A and B are shown apart, each in its own frame.
Chain A
């Protein structure tokens, strides 16, 4: 859609139109009965800007030797990591986060990315914040669409008695692209809850239908809304409290402290977005003489400590069943290091959810490190980030799956991220592990010419099988549809594939698995 096709917030009494459809009609067609769902649930997003090196965060210890071979300068010593289980570990600076894990308040999702990874920061950030496919440019945000469906005329007429508080708050000076709607951004930026003094709007005049009029309307609206919400936020900040001491030198902890205070003070805001920059560790990711210390270790400690303080605070205040946190970053980094004690832009990486309601089981298998790593190889995708967003919307905000398919992607599959007992709803997740549903064997390994893939299904199921290359590009779809129980074999001609690492990503029902396929 071109921007000129969009409506603008005019404040005029004429009905606003979206491609000829009245927005109120559009709204009625959606499930208005679930407008605010279980309206006191809150989502806290932590954006790790720059592309977090997942392999230095959640370390596949079963692949340690292979990793060390291509990360000679930067690999953390084997004895300094914190073991999660016998073949998976956290970076040694993440003690507090590990503590959350042992308290079953942390969920790790391995290998999160999207097909056809884009390695530009700006573009990939746009993809993660908009929830678009890599091949399409969507200018609204994934949460913005969720809010827009429920509040089609925002910001005209907001705040109001039903919605007195901002829908979303970003702690910082910029509103969040995740909350961009078509008619406005649903987030409000605040840097300090004590700072919200009302601004005079001056005298207003009529507005011409010119760019000058458009910009003036924007400024007036910004001032009006800043004032209207400021009072609500100030009241919540006054009423709210915090129960732990947040490290004053930890900027993320300070942002989360503000969030905790506002939640505690009863603000009805549904989404908070905070961020921490510096993850673009091309150079100096670790110290030259100590791979256990350095820029990335400091960042991980900052995140770990901040999340722990926040979660403890939320627990202490009895808010733990209402608050869910999630991290995201635009991409992981390449498997091999570069020559500057750093790593370059890659593909998939782990993602964290935290809170009392997470299902604490680690989702996904360890990142697989091929025996020979090409310089640009990234970590293979296991989970599409839009399935994570969608699962949060369904389980946390009670959004129908049909709507998720519409606002995120049509092939949405709900993932077991949250503890269904905590949510007190009927379990929709299937506890069966994928390897109990199916056996997948790729032969020969390595592949010369044609690859044969044997699937043995325990029962008939919807199956999807695709091949990706090592930078995340989708190359072929082998199966998409129902497959009968029993053994079946599929083949793919790989003659034209350059030698290297490839991945077969298999979906059976709601379950995924990814396997390495070496082509020589």
Chain B
């Protein structure tokens, strides 16, 4: 990548495809390394009762949104942990659907939604225009700045029930799938699993639609067990993965026969995207699961059979443990030792079973637990590409506000950038989701390497120093506006400390603060900042004074974001 590649990508002179042509996303590999011998945190799921300051509020908000702003942190500190968690879990009205932003979608006008509109069969440009709109809109959702957990949980489920939009290209399928995830994001895990099992996008993605009596396709049944519900345990015998066996894969494939998706790339405006059960394609014979499911026999139940089988799978507590571990790696840290297994995962799994698999119940416990606020669990998450990119835009309140065409184009460019640094919405590397959430021993460290680290830094350099421009819309940071809300921005030491505390997980050393001050005030005494900033405050319309101070702030924030600490949350 050339020095200005990120700028070219964001401004649209280079396409994402041109960039990723050189990057191979197909491998799942692990980077360095290993861990210290210190004991793990010994905290559990008891409710946290310690102090509630900006540090705890920031920790909670950074892990549950895509950027904790100063205002959100202050609200949380003022109202407490319980209030904050309630607010994060509040049900919000559904967002308005994605809109067409290009004339290539010949069926609807720019600014109208396409989610109910048919396509013109064979018009690839239209298909692509809708897929771009879908991706842009999703990126816009992640940048909404909502004081709410739903987008991060929707992304959690997207990672859990992973699909790829290059395999199922109809954007209406993608929208339907994502809407199901968002509508149920704090809901019931078992019921969501049922919805996804017959979701039209999933029926296509994992070949459920070609699974029929007499010629089963095992693809979905295998992933349902291995990745979506109960998880694969150690192999302890021939085809026996502790929690299920190869026989169960085979029998479940038969259970799932007969489902078809409807409306793929249809021109028929009366045909809604959906799925249907075809009795003649369903295997009517009884199915028998293995000893892992107590040899239960499933008699023919036709269209109700898949839900019955999922109820049987979820009858095993292992499903609760499996999803609680995934939530743990999503919200807390990647390493789960025997201690965390006993003190956190097991109590959470008990709570989930007691709550009949209502996810909200465990989110409430986890996000208010002693363990979540254990200092050992703070600041140790390497930001995902989406967190990294969105944190900057959200925490610095960068406005993306213009016409539909401008906004969608901007979101699409941001989507392309997060894709380039390896987190592409609707294109996880494979059905297991992003490897940072499951691949030992690297986990979160897989996000950063010799390719992505330089690109991340080009991005922070570009954003702090100049910004970028999309179809006449400037995407820029106003640092003067940002620091104006600080407690004491006229004192350079207070300014630096507040910026660190907002943008990095922990305090810096005195040495590091001194280094940062040299970016703000190269070779000058402290009072010069107070004087120059004071002059600007006295004459805010003086362009010269404004630029002088702003330039210093740009260099200061650029230097702050060069620190590896900025990659942590």
A291 at interface by CB-CB < 8 Å = no
Which residues of B does A touch, CB under 8 Å? 1-3, 5, 21-38, 207, 210, 212, 215, 217-219, 226, 232, 235, 238-239, 333, 335, 337, 375-382, 422, 430, 432, 440-442, 444-446, 448-454, 457, 505-506, 508-509, 511-512, 514-516, 559, 562-565, 567-568
Contact in complex: A173, B380 (CB < 8 Å) = no
Contact in complex: A210, B509 (CB < 8 Å) = no
A443 at interface by CB-CB < 8 Å = no
Q: Contacting B430 at CB < 8 Å: which of A121, A139, A170, A182?
A: A121
Given contacts A199-B457, A215-B444, contact A173 B563 (CB under 8 A): no
By Cβ-Cβ distance, the 8 closest A-B pairs, closest first, are A277-B26, A172-B24, A6-B34, A203-B515, A211-B380, A219-B564, A205-B509, A202-B563
Encoded as 1 (CB less than 8 Å from any B CB) or 0, chain A from 113 to 146 comes to: 0001010111101000100001100010000000
- The distance from the CB of B294 to the nearest CB of chain A, in whole angstroms, is 23
Contact in complex: B32, A9 (CB < 8 Å) = yes
- The distance from the CB of B28 to the nearest CB of chain A, in whole angstroms, is 7
Smallest Cβ-Cβ distance to A278: which chain B residue: B26
Contacts of B440 in A (CB 8 A): 3, 139
A294 at interface by CB-CB < 8 Å = no
Given contacts A197-B3, A282-B207, contact A191 B453 (CB under 8 A): no
Contacts of B511 in A (CB 8 A): 203, 205
Contacts of A201 in B (CB 8 A): 562, 564
A86 at interface by CB-CB < 8 Å = no
A139 CA to B3 CA, complexed, in Å: 36
Contacts of B24 in A (CB 8 A): 171-174, 191, 251, 255, 274-277
A7 CA to B38 CA, complexed, in Å: 11
Q: Contacting B217 at CB < 8 Å: which of A209, A216, A340?
A: A340
Contact in complex: A184, B217 (CB < 8 Å) = no
A40 at interface by CB-CB < 8 Å = no
Contact in complex: B217, A282 (CB < 8 Å) = yes
Q: Contacting B379 at CB < 8 Å: which of A174, A200, A212, A223?
A: A212
- The distance from the CB of B110 to the nearest CB of chain A, in whole angstroms, is 33
A254 at interface by CB-CB < 8 Å = yes
Which residues of A does B touch, CB under 8 Å? 3-10, 47, 49, 116, 118, 120-123, 125, 129, 134-135, 139, 155, 170-177, 180, 182-185, 188-192, 194-197, 199-206, 209-212, 214-216, 218-223, 225-226, 229-230, 251, 254-255, 274-278, 282-283, 338-340, 344, 471, 473
Contacts of A116 in B (CB 8 A): 238
Q: Contacting B506 at CB < 8 Å: which of A175, A212, A276?
A: A212
Contact in complex: A8, B382 (CB < 8 Å) = no
A283 CA to B206 CA, complexed, in Å: 10
A246 CA to B223 CA, complexed, in Å: 38
A-B contact pairs, 27 of them (CB 8 A): A8-B36, A122-B432, A123-B232, A172-B26, A172-B451, A173-B422, A173-B449, A174-B28, A184-B32, A192-B22, A194-B1, A196-B454, A199-B454, A199-B457, A203-B514, A203-B563, A212-B378, A218-B32, A219-B567, A226-B449, A254-B21, A274-B24, A275-B26, A282-B217, A283-B207, A340-B207, A344-B218
Q: Contacting A183 at CB < 8 Å: which of B33, B210, B380?
A: B33
Given contact pairs A170-B29, A196-B450, a sample of 10 additional A-B residue pairs in the complex whose CB atoms are under 8 Å apart = A8-B33, A47-B27, A122-B432, A177-B28, A199-B457, A203-B511, A209-B36, A210-B376, A214-B35, A282-B217
A275 CA to B377 CA, complexed, in Å: 36
Q: Which of A135, A203, A283 gathers most chain B CB within 10 Å?
A: A203
Contact in complex: B451, A195 (CB < 8 Å) = yes
Q: Contacting B21 at CB < 8 Å: which of A118, A180, A190, A251?
A: A251
Smallest Cβ-Cβ distance to A7: which chain B residue: B34
Smallest Cβ-Cβ distance to A229: which chain B residue: B450
A276 CA to B27 CA, complexed, in Å: 8
Contacts of A170 in B (CB 8 A): 27, 29
A225 CA to B505 CA, complexed, in Å: 24
Smallest Cβ-Cβ distance to A249: which chain B residue: B21
Smallest Cβ-Cβ distance to A155: which chain B residue: B32
